[in-house]
Amino acid sequence: MTPAILAPLLATLLAFAVVWLTLANVAPLIALAGVGELDLLLRVCLVFVVLGLFERLAQRLLVHRHTT
């Protein structure tokens, strides 16, 4: 794998791990609030949102690196 492909992949995996661990710590608080049904849905939605943001960031960094 080339570094151009590997960098966004690693950034995405790292973002996924950070979001998942953060939500694992927040999930009990959500469950205590009585929203247990929405816990998994919220977790999945937030993971996809953060992954999308990190993907955009990785693409911008790669474009910036290739244009300078």
**pLDDT of amino acid 43:** 72
**pLDDT of amino acid 1:** 54
Angle at 25 (CA atoms; ends 31, 13), nearest 5 degrees: 125
Q: DSSP states of 14-47 as a string?
A: HHHHHHHHHHHHHHHHHHHTT-HHHHHHHHHHHH
For the chain, how many residues are written?
68
Residue 67 φ/ψ, nearest 5 degrees: -95, -10
Angle at 44 (CA atoms; ends 46, 9), nearest 5 degrees: 75
Residue 11's pLDDT band, with cuts at 50, 70 and 90, is confident
pLDDT single digits (tens) 18-65: 777 777 777 676 666 555 556 666 777 777 888 888 888 878 777 766
Residue 67's pLDDT band, with cuts at 50, 70 and 90, is low
Six-digit token string for 39: 């816990």
